[in-house]
Amino acid sequence: MATPLVVSDVAKSFTMHLRDGIRLPVVARVSFSIRTGECAVLGGPSGAGKSSILKMLYGNYAVDEGQIIVQHEGGLIDLATASPRTVLAVRRQTIGYVSQFLRTVPRVSALDVVAEPLVERGEERESARAKVRSLLAQLNLPEKLWALPPATFSGGEQQRVNIARGFITEHPVLLLDEPTASLDAKNRDVVVALIAAKKAAGVALLGIFHDLDVRDAVADRIIDVTSFAAGKIAA
Amino acid sequence: MTDEPLLRVSALSKFYGSRVGCENVTFDLWPGEVLAVVGESGSGKTTLLNCLSTRLLPSSGTASYRMRDGQFRELYRMSEAERRFLMRTDWGFVHQNPADGLRMTVSAGANVGERLMAVGDRHYGKIRATAVDWLSRVEIDEDRIDDEPRAFSGGMRQRLQIARNLVTGPRLVFMDEPTGGLDVSVQARLLDLLRGLVTDLGLAAIVVTHDLAVARLLSQRMMVMKDGRVVESGLTDRVLDDPRAPYTQLLVSSILQV
Protein backbone atom coordinates (compact mmCIF):
# COMPACT_ATOMS: atom_id res chain seq x y z
CA MET A 1 0.00 0.00 0.00
CA ALA A 2 1.37 3.35 -0.96
CA THR A 3 -1.01 5.69 0.84
CA PRO A 4 0.64 6.43 4.19
CA LEU A 5 -1.85 9.13 5.18
CA VAL A 6 -5.64 9.07 4.83
CA VAL A 7 -7.84 11.85 6.22
CA SER A 8 -11.62 11.20 6.42
CA ASP A 9 -14.40 13.55 7.42
CA VAL A 10 -12.29 15.61 9.79
CA ALA A 11 -13.89 18.64 11.42
CA LYS A 12 -12.36 21.35 13.59
CA SER A 13 -13.76 24.32 15.43
CA PHE A 14 -12.54 26.53 18.23
CA THR A 15 -14.73 27.31 21.23
CA MET A 16 -13.72 30.60 22.82
CA HIS A 17 -14.73 30.24 26.46
CA LEU A 18 -13.47 33.71 27.29
CA ARG A 19 -15.75 35.18 24.60
CA ASP A 20 -19.06 33.83 25.90
CA GLY A 21 -18.37 30.40 24.43
CA ILE A 22 -18.57 31.58 20.84
CA ARG A 23 -17.77 28.74 18.47
CA LEU A 24 -15.58 29.40 15.43
CA PRO A 25 -15.90 26.62 12.87
CA VAL A 26 -12.69 26.18 10.88
CA VAL A 27 -13.13 23.20 8.57
CA ALA A 28 -15.54 20.27 8.18
CA ARG A 29 -15.69 17.08 6.12
CA VAL A 30 -11.98 17.24 5.33
CA SER A 31 -11.18 14.15 3.27
CA PHE A 32 -8.10 13.40 1.20
CA SER A 33 -5.14 11.06 1.09
CA ILE A 34 -1.46 11.40 0.25
CA ARG A 35 0.50 8.82 -1.73
CA THR A 36 4.17 8.03 -1.44
CA GLY A 37 6.40 10.02 -3.76
CA GLU A 38 3.94 12.84 -4.34
CA CYS A 39 3.71 16.41 -3.09
CA ALA A 40 0.15 17.55 -2.55
CA VAL A 41 -0.46 21.22 -1.84
CA LEU A 42 -3.27 22.70 0.25
CA GLY A 43 -4.76 25.61 -1.70
CA GLY A 44 -7.13 28.39 -0.71
CA PRO A 45 -7.05 31.92 0.71
CA SER A 46 -5.70 32.88 4.12
CA GLY A 47 -8.06 31.82 6.87
CA ALA A 48 -9.45 28.88 4.91
CA GLY A 49 -7.93 26.48 7.45
CA LYS A 50 -4.81 25.22 5.66
CA SER A 51 -2.48 25.58 8.65
CA SER A 52 -5.14 24.15 10.97
CA ILE A 53 -5.30 21.01 8.82
CA LEU A 54 -1.51 20.59 8.95
CA LYS A 55 -1.55 21.12 12.72
CA MET A 56 -4.22 18.45 13.18
CA LEU A 57 -2.15 16.03 11.11
CA TYR A 58 0.81 16.69 13.41
CA GLY A 59 -1.25 16.30 16.59
CA ASN A 60 -0.70 19.93 17.47
CA TYR A 61 -4.43 20.75 17.23
CA ALA A 62 -7.14 18.51 18.61
CA VAL A 63 -9.61 17.00 16.15
CA ASP A 64 -13.37 17.32 16.78
CA GLU A 65 -14.56 14.63 14.39
CA GLY A 66 -13.25 12.21 11.81
CA GLN A 67 -10.15 10.10 11.38
CA ILE A 68 -6.53 10.72 10.44
CA ILE A 69 -5.06 7.34 9.63
CA VAL A 70 -1.29 7.11 9.32
CA GLN A 71 0.89 4.09 8.61
CA HIS A 72 3.25 3.89 11.52
CA GLU A 73 5.79 1.12 12.07
CA GLY A 74 3.83 -1.49 10.17
CA GLY A 75 0.45 -0.66 11.72
CA LEU A 76 -2.28 1.91 11.32
CA ILE A 77 -2.84 4.68 13.86
CA ASP A 78 -5.73 7.12 14.12
CA LEU A 79 -4.07 10.38 15.10
CA ALA A 80 -7.44 11.94 15.94
CA THR A 81 -7.76 9.67 18.97
CA ALA A 82 -4.16 8.56 19.64
CA SER A 83 -2.62 8.98 23.10
CA PRO A 84 0.03 11.68 23.57
CA ARG A 85 2.67 8.98 23.80
CA THR A 86 1.63 7.50 20.46
CA VAL A 87 1.58 10.94 18.82
CA LEU A 88 5.14 11.52 20.07
CA ALA A 89 6.24 8.18 18.58
CA VAL A 90 4.58 9.05 15.26
CA ARG A 91 6.39 12.41 15.25
CA ARG A 92 9.70 10.74 16.00
CA GLN A 93 9.45 8.05 13.34
CA THR A 94 6.76 8.78 10.78
CA ILE A 95 5.57 12.38 10.35
CA GLY A 96 8.00 15.27 10.03
CA TYR A 97 6.94 18.89 10.09
CA VAL A 98 8.47 22.17 9.01
CA SER A 99 6.65 24.93 10.85
CA GLN A 100 6.36 28.50 9.66
CA PHE A 101 8.56 29.84 12.42
CA LEU A 102 11.43 28.34 14.35
CA ARG A 103 10.82 28.03 18.08
CA THR A 104 14.26 28.71 19.48
CA VAL A 105 15.70 27.24 22.62
CA PRO A 106 18.19 29.33 24.60
CA ARG A 107 21.84 28.33 24.25
CA VAL A 108 21.42 25.42 21.81
CA SER A 109 23.50 25.79 18.62
CA ALA A 110 21.96 25.71 15.15
CA LEU A 111 23.91 22.51 14.54
CA ASP A 112 22.34 20.76 17.51
CA VAL A 113 18.86 22.17 16.83
CA VAL A 114 18.98 20.47 13.43
CA ALA A 115 20.67 17.29 14.73
CA GLU A 116 18.07 16.77 17.48
CA PRO A 117 15.49 14.80 15.42
CA LEU A 118 18.25 12.45 14.25
CA VAL A 119 19.56 11.95 17.77
CA GLU A 120 16.01 11.24 18.96
CA ARG A 121 15.83 8.51 16.33
CA GLY A 122 18.91 6.91 17.85
CA GLU A 123 21.68 8.30 15.64
CA GLU A 124 25.09 9.02 17.19
CA ARG A 125 25.56 12.74 17.85
CA GLU A 126 28.76 12.99 15.79
CA SER A 127 27.43 11.27 12.68
CA ALA A 128 24.24 13.32 13.03
CA ARG A 129 26.31 16.51 13.12
CA ALA A 130 28.19 15.48 9.97
CA LYS A 131 24.89 15.09 8.09
CA VAL A 132 23.71 18.44 9.45
CA ARG A 133 26.84 20.25 8.25
CA SER A 134 26.32 19.05 4.73
CA LEU A 135 22.63 20.04 4.71
CA LEU A 136 23.28 23.49 6.22
CA ALA A 137 25.96 24.05 3.58
CA GLN A 138 23.51 23.03 0.86
CA LEU A 139 21.06 25.60 2.27
CA ASN A 140 23.80 28.27 2.13
CA LEU A 141 23.73 28.98 5.86
CA PRO A 142 27.09 30.67 6.59
CA GLU A 143 29.36 28.29 8.48
CA LYS A 144 30.18 30.91 11.11
CA LEU A 145 26.57 30.67 12.31
CA TRP A 146 26.47 26.91 12.86
CA ALA A 147 27.79 26.96 16.40
CA LEU A 148 25.50 29.83 17.47
CA PRO A 149 21.96 29.59 18.89
CA PRO A 150 19.52 30.67 16.13
CA ALA A 151 17.65 33.18 18.36
CA THR A 152 19.58 36.12 16.89
CA PHE A 153 19.50 34.92 13.26
CA SER A 154 17.58 36.77 10.54
CA GLY A 155 14.15 35.46 9.48
CA GLY A 156 15.58 33.75 6.40
CA GLU A 157 18.42 32.17 8.36
CA GLN A 158 16.04 30.85 11.02
CA GLN A 159 13.77 29.47 8.32
CA ARG A 160 16.68 27.58 6.77
CA VAL A 161 17.57 26.07 10.16
CA ASN A 162 13.92 25.06 10.47
CA ILE A 163 13.89 23.52 6.99
CA ALA A 164 17.09 21.61 7.72
CA ARG A 165 15.53 20.27 10.94
CA GLY A 166 12.55 18.95 8.96
CA PHE A 167 14.50 17.54 6.02
CA ILE A 168 17.42 15.97 7.90
CA THR A 169 15.54 12.78 8.82
CA GLU A 170 13.93 10.11 6.66
CA HIS A 171 10.36 10.47 7.90
CA PRO A 172 7.99 8.81 5.39
CA VAL A 173 5.51 11.71 5.64
CA LEU A 174 6.56 15.37 5.64
CA LEU A 175 4.31 18.37 6.34
CA LEU A 176 5.50 21.79 5.15
CA ASP A 177 3.92 25.04 6.37
CA GLU A 178 5.22 27.75 4.03
CA PRO A 179 8.85 26.69 4.19
CA THR A 180 9.94 29.24 1.57
CA ALA A 181 8.08 32.30 2.89
CA SER A 182 11.14 34.30 3.93
CA LEU A 183 13.76 32.94 1.52
CA ASP A 184 15.48 34.58 -1.44
CA ALA A 185 15.27 33.08 -4.95
CA LYS A 186 18.49 31.10 -4.68
CA ASN A 187 17.45 29.38 -1.46
CA ARG A 188 13.91 28.81 -2.73
CA ASP A 189 15.49 26.81 -5.53
CA VAL A 190 17.46 24.77 -2.98
CA VAL A 191 14.21 23.93 -1.16
CA VAL A 192 12.53 22.97 -4.43
CA ALA A 193 15.45 20.59 -5.10
CA LEU A 194 15.21 19.15 -1.58
CA ILE A 195 11.49 18.50 -2.07
CA ALA A 196 12.18 16.81 -5.41
CA ALA A 197 14.74 14.58 -3.69
CA LYS A 198 12.20 13.62 -0.99
CA LYS A 199 9.65 12.74 -3.66
CA ALA A 200 12.20 10.60 -5.46
CA ALA A 201 12.91 8.84 -2.16
CA GLY A 202 9.21 7.93 -1.84
CA VAL A 203 8.27 10.43 0.86
CA ALA A 204 4.64 11.61 0.93
CA LEU A 205 4.60 15.41 1.21
CA LEU A 206 1.78 17.81 2.04
CA GLY A 207 2.50 21.50 1.97
CA ILE A 208 1.26 25.06 2.01
CA PHE A 209 3.02 27.38 -0.45
CA HIS A 210 1.87 30.90 -1.15
CA ASP A 211 4.74 31.44 -3.57
CA LEU A 212 3.27 30.45 -6.95
CA ASP A 213 6.62 29.67 -8.60
CA VAL A 214 7.54 27.26 -5.82
CA ARG A 215 4.06 25.76 -5.83
CA ASP A 216 4.14 25.14 -9.58
CA ALA A 217 7.58 23.61 -9.27
CA VAL A 218 6.71 21.10 -6.54
CA ALA A 219 2.95 20.42 -6.61
CA ASP A 220 1.62 17.21 -8.12
CA ARG A 221 -1.91 18.29 -7.29
CA ILE A 222 -3.77 20.96 -5.35
CA ILE A 223 -6.25 20.12 -2.61
CA ASP A 224 -8.78 22.96 -2.52
CA VAL A 225 -9.42 23.72 1.14
CA THR A 226 -12.41 26.02 0.38
CA SER A 227 -14.40 22.85 -0.35
CA PHE A 228 -13.98 21.97 3.35
CA ALA A 229 -15.39 25.30 4.56
CA ALA A 230 -17.38 24.87 7.73
CA GLY A 231 -20.78 26.56 7.89
CA LYS A 232 -21.02 29.42 10.36
CA ILE A 233 -22.83 28.08 13.40
CA ALA A 234 -23.79 30.40 16.20
CA ALA A 235 -22.93 29.47 19.77
CA MET B 1 11.18 2.29 24.59
CA THR B 2 9.65 -0.04 27.14
CA ASP B 3 6.04 -1.06 27.01
CA GLU B 4 5.34 -0.48 30.65
CA PRO B 5 5.03 2.79 32.50
CA LEU B 6 7.39 3.73 35.28
CA LEU B 7 4.64 5.15 37.45
CA ARG B 8 0.92 4.40 37.49
CA VAL B 9 -1.32 6.78 39.37
CA SER B 10 -4.99 6.01 39.88
CA ALA B 11 -7.73 8.15 41.42
CA LEU B 12 -5.36 9.88 43.81
CA SER B 13 -7.02 12.30 46.24
CA LYS B 14 -5.80 14.26 49.22
CA PHE B 15 -8.14 16.12 51.54
CA TYR B 16 -7.15 18.48 54.31
CA GLY B 17 -10.20 18.02 56.50
CA SER B 18 -13.06 19.03 54.23
CA ARG B 19 -10.77 21.05 52.00
CA VAL B 20 -9.61 19.50 48.70
CA GLY B 21 -5.86 19.30 48.12
CA CYS B 22 -6.08 17.28 44.94
CA GLU B 23 -8.88 15.05 43.76
CA ASN B 24 -9.15 11.99 41.55
CA VAL B 25 -5.88 12.36 39.66
CA THR B 26 -5.08 9.52 37.25
CA PHE B 27 -2.16 9.21 34.83
CA ASP B 28 0.73 7.01 33.71
CA LEU B 29 4.30 8.19 33.33
CA TRP B 30 6.71 6.35 31.02
CA PRO B 31 10.50 6.21 31.24
CA GLY B 32 12.14 9.24 29.67
CA GLU B 33 8.95 11.26 29.74
CA VAL B 34 8.68 14.73 31.27
CA LEU B 35 5.23 15.66 32.58
CA ALA B 36 4.51 19.26 33.52
CA VAL B 37 1.83 20.00 36.10
CA VAL B 38 0.65 23.58 35.76
CA GLY B 39 -1.86 25.74 37.55
CA GLU B 40 -2.05 28.74 39.86
CA SER B 41 -1.08 28.80 43.50
CA GLY B 42 -3.53 26.70 45.42
CA SER B 43 -4.50 24.55 42.44
CA GLY B 44 -3.21 21.43 44.19
CA LYS B 45 -0.14 20.84 42.06
CA THR B 46 2.31 20.84 44.96
CA THR B 47 0.00 18.63 47.04
CA LEU B 48 -0.04 16.18 44.13
CA LEU B 49 3.75 16.27 43.84
CA ASN B 50 4.17 15.68 47.54
CA CYS B 51 1.78 12.71 47.44
CA LEU B 52 3.56 11.20 44.44
CA SER B 53 6.95 11.56 46.07
CA THR B 54 5.47 10.04 49.28
CA ARG B 55 6.37 13.10 51.30
CA LEU B 56 2.64 13.21 52.01
CA LEU B 57 0.22 10.30 52.21
CA PRO B 58 -2.93 10.62 50.09
CA SER B 59 -6.44 10.22 51.50
CA SER B 60 -7.34 7.70 48.81
CA GLY B 61 -6.12 6.30 45.52
CA THR B 62 -3.05 4.35 44.50
CA ALA B 63 0.33 4.92 42.90
CA SER B 64 2.59 2.08 41.86
CA TYR B 65 6.18 2.38 40.75
CA ARG B 66 8.13 -0.05 38.60
CA MET B 67 11.24 -0.94 40.58
CA ARG B 68 14.58 -1.73 38.92
CA ASP B 69 13.72 -5.45 39.04
CA GLY B 70 10.69 -4.74 36.83
CA GLN B 71 8.11 -5.37 39.57
CA PHE B 72 5.46 -2.78 40.36
CA ARG B 73 5.27 -1.80 44.02
CA GLU B 74 2.41 0.08 45.62
CA LEU B 75 4.05 3.24 47.03
CA TYR B 76 1.74 3.78 49.95
CA ARG B 77 2.10 0.20 51.17
CA MET B 78 5.87 0.34 51.38
CA SER B 79 7.54 0.72 54.72
CA GLU B 80 8.99 4.09 55.62
CA ALA B 81 12.49 2.63 55.25
CA GLU B 82 11.76 1.34 51.75
CA ARG B 83 10.37 4.69 50.68
CA ARG B 84 13.41 6.49 52.04
CA PHE B 85 15.68 4.13 50.17
CA LEU B 86 13.79 4.84 46.94
CA MET B 87 14.05 8.57 47.62
CA ARG B 88 17.79 8.34 48.17
CA THR B 89 18.62 6.19 45.18
CA ASP B 90 16.11 5.89 42.36
CA TRP B 91 14.37 9.24 42.79
CA GLY B 92 15.37 12.84 43.02
CA PHE B 93 13.48 15.82 44.40
CA VAL B 94 14.45 19.31 43.30
CA HIS B 95 12.93 21.92 45.63
CA GLN B 96 12.07 25.45 44.61
CA ASN B 97 14.25 26.75 47.40
CA PRO B 98 17.68 25.09 47.15
CA ALA B 99 18.14 25.50 50.92
CA ASP B 100 15.40 22.86 51.36
CA GLY B 101 17.28 20.34 49.27
CA LEU B 102 20.88 21.09 50.22
CA ARG B 103 22.88 20.98 53.40
CA MET B 104 23.96 24.56 53.57
CA THR B 105 26.80 24.15 56.04
CA VAL B 106 28.75 21.38 54.36
CA SER B 107 30.82 21.79 51.20
CA ALA B 108 29.45 21.57 47.67
CA GLY B 109 31.46 18.40 47.12
CA ALA B 110 30.04 16.81 50.27
CA ASN B 111 26.50 17.71 49.20
CA VAL B 112 27.01 15.66 46.06
CA GLY B 113 29.12 12.98 47.73
CA GLU B 114 26.61 12.38 50.51
CA ARG B 115 24.08 10.94 48.08
CA LEU B 116 26.75 8.61 46.70
CA MET B 117 27.64 7.38 50.18
CA ALA B 118 23.94 6.74 50.78
CA VAL B 119 24.00 4.22 47.95
CA GLY B 120 27.09 2.52 49.34
CA ASP B 121 30.08 4.28 47.79
CA ARG B 122 32.92 4.41 50.29
CA HIS B 123 36.03 5.22 48.26
CA TYR B 124 36.92 8.85 48.98
CA GLY B 125 38.91 9.43 45.78
CA LYS B 126 36.16 7.99 43.62
CA ILE B 127 33.45 9.99 45.37
CA ARG B 128 35.41 13.20 44.97
CA ALA B 129 36.11 12.51 41.30
CA THR B 130 32.41 11.86 40.67
CA ALA B 131 31.52 15.03 42.57
CA VAL B 132 33.96 17.07 40.44
CA ASP B 133 32.49 15.55 37.29
CA TRP B 134 28.94 16.41 38.36
CA LEU B 135 29.84 19.94 39.39
CA SER B 136 31.28 20.51 35.92
CA ARG B 137 28.15 19.05 34.31
CA VAL B 138 26.10 21.66 36.13
CA GLU B 139 28.70 24.30 35.25
CA ILE B 140 30.19 24.88 38.69
CA ASP B 141 33.98 25.39 38.66
CA GLU B 142 36.04 22.68 40.29
CA ASP B 143 37.71 25.23 42.56
CA ARG B 144 34.36 25.82 44.32
CA ILE B 145 34.09 22.18 45.46
CA ASP B 146 35.15 22.92 49.04
CA ASP B 147 32.93 26.00 49.41
CA GLU B 148 29.66 25.84 51.28
CA PRO B 149 26.48 26.50 49.29
CA ARG B 150 25.87 29.45 51.63
CA ALA B 151 28.55 31.22 49.58
CA PHE B 152 26.82 30.43 46.25
CA SER B 153 24.40 32.56 44.24
CA GLY B 154 20.78 31.41 43.87
CA GLY B 155 21.37 30.00 40.40
CA MET B 156 24.50 28.12 41.51
CA ARG B 157 22.68 26.69 44.52
CA GLN B 158 19.94 25.42 42.25
CA ARG B 159 22.48 23.82 39.92
CA LEU B 160 24.20 22.23 42.90
CA GLN B 161 20.87 20.85 44.08
CA ILE B 162 20.35 19.31 40.65
CA ALA B 163 23.80 17.71 40.73
CA ARG B 164 23.10 16.31 44.20
CA ASN B 165 19.87 14.75 42.92
CA LEU B 166 21.21 13.31 39.68
CA VAL B 167 24.50 11.89 40.89
CA THR B 168 22.95 8.55 41.89
CA GLY B 169 21.49 8.03 38.41
CA PRO B 170 17.82 8.25 39.43
CA ARG B 171 15.09 7.16 37.02
CA LEU B 172 12.47 9.63 38.24
CA VAL B 173 12.93 13.21 39.38
CA PHE B 174 10.29 15.42 40.99
CA MET B 175 10.76 19.15 40.54
CA ASP B 176 8.82 21.85 42.36
CA GLU B 177 9.13 25.17 40.50
CA PRO B 178 12.80 24.51 39.70
CA THR B 179 13.32 27.96 38.19
CA GLY B 180 11.11 29.92 40.58
CA GLY B 181 12.72 32.95 42.15
CA LEU B 182 15.64 33.08 39.70
CA ASP B 183 16.54 35.92 37.32
CA VAL B 184 15.39 35.36 33.76
CA SER B 185 18.92 34.92 32.38
CA VAL B 186 19.74 32.47 35.18
CA GLN B 187 16.47 30.65 34.47
CA ALA B 188 17.33 30.23 30.79
CA ARG B 189 20.69 28.72 31.66
CA LEU B 190 19.14 26.35 34.19
CA LEU B 191 16.36 25.29 31.84
CA ASP B 192 18.81 24.56 29.08
CA LEU B 193 20.93 22.56 31.49
CA LEU B 194 17.94 20.60 32.75
CA ARG B 195 16.71 19.95 29.24
CA GLY B 196 20.10 18.56 28.21
CA LEU B 197 20.48 16.38 31.31
CA VAL B 198 16.96 14.97 31.07
CA THR B 199 17.53 14.04 27.40
CA ASP B 200 21.03 12.64 27.87
CA LEU B 201 20.13 10.57 30.93
CA GLY B 202 16.70 9.49 29.69
CA LEU B 203 15.14 10.64 32.97
CA ALA B 204 11.44 10.68 33.67
CA ALA B 205 10.39 13.81 35.49
CA ILE B 206 7.32 15.43 36.97
CA VAL B 207 7.76 19.19 36.97
CA VAL B 208 5.40 21.44 38.87
CA THR B 209 5.43 24.98 37.53
CA HIS B 210 3.15 27.95 37.12
CA ASP B 211 5.26 29.12 34.17
CA LEU B 212 3.87 27.87 30.86
CA ALA B 213 7.12 28.74 29.05
CA VAL B 214 9.00 26.42 31.41
CA ALA B 215 6.43 23.70 30.73
CA ARG B 216 6.79 24.16 26.97
CA LEU B 217 10.55 23.98 27.08
CA LEU B 218 10.91 21.00 29.40
CA SER B 219 7.91 18.73 29.01
CA GLN B 220 6.29 16.56 26.37
CA ARG B 221 3.05 16.16 28.30
CA MET B 222 1.10 18.49 30.49
CA MET B 223 -1.68 18.42 33.10
CA VAL B 224 -3.54 21.61 33.95
CA MET B 225 -4.94 21.74 37.49
CA LYS B 226 -7.57 23.96 39.03
CA ASP B 227 -9.15 23.63 42.48
CA GLY B 228 -7.44 20.29 42.99
CA ARG B 229 -8.71 18.70 39.79
CA VAL B 230 -7.09 18.04 36.43
CA VAL B 231 -9.09 20.17 33.99
CA GLU B 232 -7.08 19.34 30.86
CA SER B 233 -4.20 17.10 29.89
CA GLY B 234 -2.38 16.08 26.74
CA LEU B 235 0.66 16.81 24.62
CA THR B 236 2.26 20.01 25.86
CA ASP B 237 2.17 21.78 22.50
CA ARG B 238 -1.43 20.67 21.90
CA VAL B 239 -2.59 22.00 25.27
CA LEU B 240 -0.78 25.31 24.78
CA ASP B 241 -1.62 25.85 21.08
CA ASP B 242 -5.20 24.53 21.18
CA PRO B 243 -6.38 24.86 24.78
CA ARG B 244 -9.88 23.40 25.21
CA ALA B 245 -10.85 23.93 28.84
CA PRO B 246 -12.01 27.43 29.84
CA TYR B 247 -9.37 27.63 32.55
CA THR B 248 -6.54 26.60 30.20
CA GLN B 249 -7.69 29.22 27.70
CA LEU B 250 -7.54 31.80 30.46
CA LEU B 251 -4.03 30.72 31.47
CA VAL B 252 -2.71 30.71 27.90
CA SER B 253 -4.30 34.06 27.08
CA SER B 254 -2.73 35.59 30.18
CA ILE B 255 0.86 35.04 28.99
CA LEU B 256 2.64 38.31 28.42
CA GLN B 257 4.19 38.61 24.99
CA VAL B 258 7.73 39.95 24.94
pLDDT classification of A234: cutoffs 50, 70, 90: very low
Q: What is the pLDDT of residues A121-164, one digit of tens each?
A: 999 999 999 999 999 999 999 999 999 999 899 999 999 999 99
Residues B5 and B56 reside in one and the same domain: yes
Residues B81 and B135 reside in one and the same domain: no
- Among B169, B185, B201, give the residue marking a domain's end: B169
Chain B residues whose beta carbon lies within 8 Å of the beta carbon of residue A23: none
Q: What is the pLDDT of residues B230-239, one digit of tens each?
A: 999 999 999 9
Any domain includes A99:
no
B220 touches chain A (CB under 8 A): yes
Any domain includes A127:
yes
The pLDDT, as a whole number, for residue B2 is: 57
Q: Is the pLDDT assigned to residue B106 strictly greater than 70?
A: yes
Residues A46 and A21 reside in one and the same domain: yes
Label residues A85-115 b or e (16+ Cβ within 10 Å = b). bebbbbbbbbbbbbbeebebbeebbbbbbbb
SS3 track for chain B: CCCCCCEEEEEEEEEECCEEEEEEEEEEECCCCEEEEECCCCCCHHHHHHHHCCCCCCCEEEEEEECCCCCEEEHHHCCHHHHHHHHHHCEEEECCCHHHHCCCCCCHHHHHHHHHHHCCCCCHHHHHHHHHHHHHHCCCCHHHCCCCHHHCCHHHHHHHHHHHHHCCCCCEEEEECCCCCCCHHHHHHHHHHHHHHHHHHCCEEEEEECCHHHHHHHCCEEEEEECCEEEEEEEHHHHHHCCCCHHHHHHHHCCCCC
- Among B136, B169, B202, give the residue marking a domain's end: B169
CATH number of the domain to which A67 belongs: 3.40.50.300
B137 touches chain A (CB under 8 A): no
- Among A117, A144, A165, give the residue marking a domain's end: A165
Residue B81 CB: number of other CB atoms within 10 A?
A: 8
Chain A residues whose beta carbon lies within 8 Å of the beta carbon of residue B204: none
Q: Do residue B238 and residue A108 have CB atoms under 8 angstroms apart?
A: no
Residues A39 and A90 reside in one and the same domain: yes
Residues A90 and A4 reside in one and the same domain: yes
Residues A194 and A87 reside in one and the same domain: yes
Supply the ipTM of this predicted assembly.
Answer: 0.92
Residues A74 and A111 reside in one and the same domain: no
Q: What is the pLDDT of residues A7-57, one digit of tens each?
A: 999 999 999 999 999 999 999 999 999 999 999 999 999 889 999 999 999
The pLDDT, as a whole number, for residue B224 is: 97
Q: What is the pLDDT of residues A78-108, one digit of tens each?
A: 999 999 999 999 999 999 999 988 887 778 8
Q: Is the pLDDT assigned to residue A232 strictly greater than 60?
A: no
Q: Do residue A16 and residue B249 have CB atoms under 8 angstroms apart?
A: yes
Residues B66 and B104 reside in one and the same domain: no
Residue A59 CB: number of other CB atoms within 10 A?
A: 24
pLDDT classification of B257: cutoffs 50, 70, 90: low
Distance from CA of A234 to the nearest CA of B (A): 18
Chain A residues whose beta carbon lies within 8 Å of the beta carbon of residue B257: none
Any domain includes A54:
yes
pLDDT classification of B189: cutoffs 50, 70, 90: confident
Full residue range of the structural domain in which residue A57 is found: 1-94+171-235
Residues A76 and A177 reside in one and the same domain: yes
- Among A120, A150, A165, give the residue marking a domain's end: A165
CATH number of the domain to which B28 belongs: 3.40.50.300
Q: Is the pLDDT assigned to residue A233 strictly greater than 50?
A: no
Residues A37 and A65 reside in one and the same domain: yes
Residues A152 and A37 reside in one and the same domain: no
- Among B123, B142, B169, give the residue marking a domain's end: B169
The pLDDT, as a whole number, for residue B240 is: 96
Residues B188 and B66 reside in one and the same domain: yes
Residues A111 and A150 reside in one and the same domain: yes
Residues A181 and A76 reside in one and the same domain: yes
The pLDDT, as a whole number, for residue B74 is: 96
Residues A49 and A136 reside in one and the same domain: no
- Among A125, A145, A165, give the residue marking a domain's end: A165
Instruction: Give the mutation candidate from B3, B198, B238, B239 for the A interface (greatest A CB count, under 10 A).
Output: B238
Residues B31 and B55 reside in one and the same domain: yes
Q: Do residue A88 and residue B238 have CB atoms under 8 angstroms apart?
A: no
Residues A77 and A160 reside in one and the same domain: no
B238 touches chain A (CB under 8 A): yes
Distance from CA of A213 to the nearest CA of B (A): 31
B-proximal residues of A, 69-88, CB under 8 Å = 84-85, 87-88
Q: Is the pLDDT assigned to residue A230 strictly greater than 60?
A: yes
Residues B84 and B179 reside in one and the same domain: yes
The pLDDT, as a whole number, for residue B150 is: 93
Residues B21 and B138 reside in one and the same domain: no
Q: Is the pLDDT assigned to residue B120 strictly greater than 90?
A: no
pTM higher than 0.80, yes or no?
yes
The pLDDT, as a whole number, for residue B34 is: 95
Residues B181 and B257 reside in one and the same domain: yes
Distance from CA of A83 to the nearest CA of B (A): 8
Chain B residues whose beta carbon lies within 8 Å of the beta carbon of residue A59: 235, 238
Residues B51 and B6 reside in one and the same domain: yes
The pLDDT, as a whole number, for residue B7 is: 97
Cα–Cα separations (whole angstroms), residue B99 to A41, A148, A227, B160, B193: 56, 35, 61, 11, 20
How many domains are contained in chain B?
2
Question: Crossing angle, helix A155-167 and helix A125-138, to 10 degrees?
Answer: 130
Rounded distance between C-alpha atoms, residue B168 and residue A142, angstroms? 42
The pLDDT, as a whole number, for residue B41 is: 87
Q: What is the pLDDT of residues B32-75, one digit of tens each?
A: 899 999 998 889 999 999 999 999 999 999 999 999 999 999 99
How many domains are contained in chain A?
2
Full residue range of the structural domain in which residue B152 is found: 95-169
Over range B244-254, report the average pLDDT. 93
Residues B15 and B80 reside in one and the same domain: yes
Residues B1 and B81 reside in one and the same domain: yes
Chain A residue whose CA is closest to B244: A15
Better-predicted residue by pLDDT, B250 or B181:
B250
Residues B123 and B245 reside in one and the same domain: no
Q: Do residue A62 and residue B195 have CB atoms under 8 angstroms apart?
A: no
Any domain includes A130:
yes
